[in-house]
Structure 1
């Protein structure tokens, strides 16, 4: 009996002394269990990555919050682009990377890119989303098909390309213009082609004694009726050729160098155009003249995404100190076109 009692007491003492260790083991956190997957998950590099993530998440969340912000209503800011190339040039040529970053800014900041049809309907009394933006390209360069189209497609953004119809599919110097097959591919992605004249994108010696855009007035020695007929036939041909090739309506004209006289504007109306775009700085409202629509030059290397954001808001009247419109070199297309037209 004495031996049994001693054994029981000894066993009880062992249990009592072991209790703290058993308790600690039972309450140990599972994360410290050394399995292969947990070892990988808790490597120092993974810890550093987790620490580096919050600023990116914070930035994404900030963008999400901003995407719900209303900067302006019942207005459309129309952006102008021209050529996209790895080698940027002042005024009119930006890199594919810059273009993509500007589109990303439009998304993250809550701008809504609309189609040309939506702008037309808006001017006729319809509605547009808040923070509305229309993207346009002048001249019809192949770079619009090569670089702009895939970036716009990724983001499901519509756009308008104003082509010099005579140059479609041609190469002038080292500049190539997209062809009709490319235009059809673009149209399926809602990047539609409209007119930048058939072959009046040039300067000439005008009757007023100045060298200026052909749509500004009659050439020296040309009668008003001959001038009006020249412009009418050119614009009508541009519209009919695009419609024939693409089987889509053409009702918008972008003025070469953003300028035209009243005779040319009336000829455009007679040729079937409903909307005419200039390069004058401003925002489109329901009260805007559809035959003198303003636009903002966004296709300059001087434009950063942040600056474009500020420029759009200034144009729409959001900022109290509007930024000056970046001017585009007026003779850019002249240098290209003169080689072909002389």
Structure 2
């Protein structure tokens, strides 16, 4: 009996030596706080070859590596609560899939289930009528019911009902205008088409499980201001883009960014580094920044000659002076909140003033200790 007890204790100790380091890593290895890395996949398959396909091994390796680095995976419900003001674990990650392929059920779901990692799949609900008719087989109703009922961390949401195609003119069905018998649809017809398609997606998924169907992934990543409005009228409160940034509460919930993870070239280390490069500091470390150095990090250039300051960013050129309170590009003038000034032989500018000049939000990444322009979709509500 004593030998059995001793052996049992030894096994317990061995188990703790395996478990405790990973738990400790999750507690102490704080990479970022109060933001979420939403990562995006499409197809997990060991035979298919495409830019949106990865093997089951790579998929599992990515998730295992992220776990080892202290990332913590959250559910869609947790993500939505976060967007409404709730807290999330440090190093939070939300796993998403687009297109509703059956490979999610066959190859990805067993891995997710065994590792207890939540995920959401954005489904093209028109494919539910005949899942095997697609070029790539799609999820069936039974498979969705099984996954969502057997766990409390797998979700199915909308990738439109039947808008995952392009019109004859090349525009995506979500934002293009249909032409029937030579007649282009009116604005009202377009509006009703988008709202109706969204409502159809909600209705079909609502039959399968009881969670709210209020989240959407834009097909092909394309959308515009009207599409945002009408998708919202169709019942969506959250919509996901393909803009590669971190998700924070200050973004539009109908324009949520995602970081691509579903390419065969994205190794676990590459995915980890891709997330690190996009971490957003809670606030900029300084109200004023060195003009030339910061612009260089943003992809622009600033020069100072005899007190004259020239700023080049994109196609615009701005002129000003040290101790001057304004910058002009010939057709427009920006009045600075604080004049340009020199300190330690460097010209400094207010971060808010620089954002006004370049027309974009500037964020600080504490991991790489540099500034960057925060990417955003071309359209705004």
With normalisation by structure 2, the TM-score equals 0.65
Alpha-carbon distance, 1:62 to partner:
7.2
For these two proteins, the number of residue pairs brought into alignment is 263
- Counterpart in 1 of 2:116? 156
Structure 1: distance between partners of 2:273 and 2:159 = 28
- Residue matched to 1:255: 218
Aligned in 2, Cα 1:118/1:59: closer, same or farther, shift over 3 Å? closer
Counterpart of 1:192 in 2: which secondary structure? strand
2:69 aligned to which of 88, 92, 109: 109
**1:268 matches 2:231:** yes
1:1-342 to structure 2, matched below 5 A, reads 66-67=25-26, 68-168=28-128, 169-172=130-133, 174-188=135-149, 189=151, 190-205=153-168, 211-220=170-179, 221-316=184-279, 317-320=365-368
CA–CA distance in structure 1, aligned partners of residues 170 and 135 of structure 2: 26
Paired residues of 1:232 and 1:264 also in contact (CA < 8 A): no
* Pairwise CA RMSD: 2.3
Instruction: Kindly indicate whether structure 1 or structure 2 has the higher relative contact order, using CA contacts under 8 Å at least 6 residues apart.
Output: 1
State the alpha-carbon separation in 1 of the partners of residues 268 and 48 from structure 2. 16
Tell me the CA shift for residue 65 of structure 1. Answer: 5.5
Name the SS for the 1:287 alignment partner. Answer: coil
Shift of the alpha carbon at 1:222?
1.5
Q: Secondary structure at the match of 1:204?
A: coil
Structure 1 runs of 4+ aligned residues shifted over 6 Å read 58-62
C-alpha separation between the residues in 1 aligned to 2:133 and 2:55? 20
Aligned equivalents of 2:55 and 2:191: distance in 1?
A: 39
Unaligned runs of 5+ in 2: 1-16, 280-364, 373-381
Distance (Å, rounded) in 2 between the aligned partners of 1:163 and 1:125: 27
Q: C-alpha separation between the residues in 1 aligned to 2:269 and 2:55?
A: 16
TM-score (norm 1): 0.72
Query: 2: CA distance between counterparts of 1:84 and 1:110?
Result: 24
Kindly indicate which of the two structures has a greater share of residues assigned to helix.
1
In 2: Cα distance, 1:201 partner to 1:111 partner? 32
Q: Give the Cα–Cα distance (whole angstroms) in 2 for the partners of residues 63 and 102 of structure 1.
A: 16
Change (3 A) 1:322 1:142: farther
Moved more, 179-188 or 65-74: 65-74
How far does the alpha carbon of each residue in 1:266-307 deviate from its partner, in whole angstroms, 9 at most, with x for none? 111111110010111111101111000000110100010111
> Over alpha carbons, which structure has the higher Rg?
1
Query: SS at the partner of 2:161?
Result: coil
For residues 210-234 of structure 1, what are the alpha-carbon distances to aligned partners after superposition, in whole Å with 9 as ceiling and x for unaligned?
Answer: 5221222323511111111111100
